[in-house]
Amino acid sequence: MSEQIETLARGIGRRKEAIAQVQLLPGTGLFFINGVPAITYFQQNPRSIFAINAPIKLYKEKQASLLLEEKTSTSTEEKSLEKSEGFDTIVTVRGGGLVGQADAIQLGVARALCQVTENSRKSFKKLGYLTQDSRVKERRKYGLKKARKASQYHKR
């Protein structure tokens, strides 16, 4: 018999040509992208690593502040917080470059974390983690050399 691992949440993020599918599983905090650790996948690029870890860091800070504020909570709330405290992030990403993939993963992780707890949505939205960047490369038009570059105009 094969054991099925319970998925806490799923999220999809898109940026340019990159599409990231994010799964949050109960675990110890591991972060894998296409079966490879995140630091190795992004070649230790600090901008990309910070981008994918930012929503998780904000989520953990929010959970810590909630635990400090509410010392007397019901047992069901405590169980749900303990369950969501430690999780592994498994990402499948396709298309685009490393920067576009990092932004797609950031959006997917933020969307998945919003499914875990509803109260974190407001803080994610405020910091812009739930806003999809819809800018894409402009297509090349016929009669032009690039998207907007034309040959030099001669009046005579």
What pTM was estimated for this model as a whole?
A: 0.82
Tell me, rounded to whole angstroms, the distance of Cα 34 from its chain centroid: 14
Question: Taking the domain 9-127, which CATH number applies?
Answer: 3.30.230.10
99-156, pLDDT tens digit by residue?
A: 999 999 999 999 999 998 888 899 999 999 999 999 999 999 999 999 999 999 998 8
37-52, pLDDT tens digit by residue?
A: 999 999 999 999 999 9
Look at residues 99, 137, 111, 109 and name the one whose alpha carbon lies nearest to residue 18: 99
In this prediction, residue 19 has a pLDDT band, given cuts at 50, 70 and 90, of very high
Tokens for 113, please give them: 């974390």
Domain residues of the chain, as ranges? Answer: 9-127
Tokens for 33, please give them: 């992208």
Tokens for 97, please give them: 């470059």
More confident residue, 98 or 117: 98
**Distance in angstroms (rounded) separating the CA atoms of residues 11 and 19:** 11
3-class DSSP assignment, residue 132: coil
Which pLDDT value is given to residue 86? 81
Residues 6+ apart with CB under 8 A from 90: 22, 23, 25, 32
Mean pLDDT for the stretch of residues 75-90: 59
